[in-house]
Amino acid sequence: MSNQLYINEIQILFDAVQKSKIFEDQKMMTDAVPLFPIAEINGKYEQEKDSPGFDLKDFVMAHFDFLGARVSVQREDHFPIGQHIEKLWDELTRTAYEEKGTLLKLPKPYIVPGGRFNEFFYWDSYFIMLGLQVSGRVEMMENIVENCAYLIQNTGFVPNASRTHFLSRSQPPYFSLMLELLSETKDDETIYTKYHDILEKEYAFWMSGEEETERGSGIRRVVKTQDGDILNRYYDTENEPRPESYLIDIEDQENASGEEFYRNIRSACESGWDFSSRWFADGEHIQTIETLNLAEVDLNCLLWHLENTLAKSSGLQNLSDKENYFTERAAKRRHMINKYFWDEKTKIYRDYHIKKNTKTPSEHIAALYPLFLGIADQEQSQAVAETISEKFLYPGGLVTTTKKSGQQWDLPNAWAPYQWLGFKAMKNYGFVELAEKIKNNWSSNVERVYKNTGKLMEKYNALDTETIAGGGEYPNQDGFGWTNGVYLKLQQN
């Protein structure tokens, strides 16, 4: 029997389980491992479901294993935070040498975020690597890169996370940044040439559809502006409820205003920002989500880095045609980033609305990317630094947007990745005092929560440093991969 499970193979049973809410967390059923062949489980379900006394939960528990549902360890001993993180690296290490249920197999061990997230996540892994670098765990950094390369080689991209139901989308493309980090750690440039073909393959995934795209519209992850310029957007090939948030999506869709509600929801998940007022046409309600109409500043900056990295790896191999090609593409994209995302009036980078041919009203922390990657000029960086200081920096760290919507990627939550991006962005342009303030505000928040709870959280409340963060589709998780990584890296800087 194959151990690989695609949710659509158990769709009728799955639908019943998710709609009956027998598990508090909808992710439980997506992570379940069938104990018998799928056809046999489906047959028995059809046979028994209408019989008197049939209990759905008993049936599911008898036919599936829930290995993935690890309970977080409650420790009696309270180590200093750094020591605690060192222990967590081992606790968060997993292997998947064979397929189990929806879990994809991977060639190397990896680190999971923690809590309910018990699989390999793409962009989380970069921020985890920052901490592994500080901990001297170079082999695990190499494992992460190898796993990403394996996924790109075998599926054409790195899925959102290593499960079959994530094979329709990726996450922010951080692979080129992972290589840069590993190359810097090992002082070895051959890493770029070793993974050159993988970089090209990932680039082809993001640029697929470029030739056919019409002005003012998009195909897959590529959009063409009214002026005929090429930009990128987040996208998902499926237009149906997310299995891991099945019931929530079905309920939200009932009052949705736009077309392709499910695809818009899923496409926002590709950004890692699930969810935020950033994606909502009215800035308030998830039912107005319009991710597909936007070209995003963070994505385009990351693809600029990928193009730049491809130019570099081509140069190292004396592939002058390719080096010229990618150098030109990177230069063109740099120009586009300033043309489409820089808002001269409010002095911040914003996303771009393809249909309306205008910048979106949402003010958000992804404006840091052009500074994080060195794309902004000194004048722009000065303006962004002032905006960040005035509108985004709170006692507990940097918030993601200036809007309080109840969504987890909005005010008042502070997320680890953006504390590192903010710190690094400000250091790049010489705003050392602001960089230190970002680092200290968030780090002290992390330390306070750790002191009170013994845990490192997925996200933090930046405004009220007396409480723990909330909002979103599930409770705040502890573990937590990227928090551990960014905390260690900031302490070292």
Do residues 297 and 349 make contact, with C-beta atoms less than 8 angstroms apart?
A: yes
Question: What gap in Å lies between CA 337 and CA 403, rounded to an integer?
Answer: 24
List for the chain the helix, strand, coil content (%; round to 5): 50, 10, 40
Q: Which of 274, 298, 307, 410 is catalytic?
A: 274
DSSP secondary structure of 12-29: HHHHHHHHHT-SSSTHHH
Contact 374, 335 (CB under 8 A): no
Place of tokens 């039912």: 287
Report the sign of the C-alpha dihedral through residues 397, 492, 458, 179, in that order: positive
**Of 172, 156, 81, nearest in space to 124 by CA:** 172
Specify whether 76 is catalytic: no
* 436: annotated active-site residue: no
Structural contact between residues 244 and 159, judged by C-beta atoms closer than 8 angstroms: no
Q: What is the CA radius of gyration of the chain?
A: 22
CB 88 within 8 A of CB 479: yes
Token pair belonging to 208? 């697929």
- The position carrying tokens 């818009």 is 264
What tokens were used for 376?
Answer: 């902004």
As a whole number of angstroms, the distance between CA 153 and CA 144 comes to 14
**Which one is catalytic: 236, 410, 458, 478?**
458
Please compute, for residue 112, the number of CA atoms within 13 A of its CA located in the half-sphere on the CB side: 23
d(CA 198, CA 173): 12
Write down the number of H helices and E strands in the chain.
19, 16
Helices (H), 317-429: 320-336, 369-372, 378-387, 416-428
Pairing of strands 358-359, 352-353: antiparallel
> In this structure, which amino acid lies at residue 336?
M
Catalytically active residues, by annotation:
274, 458
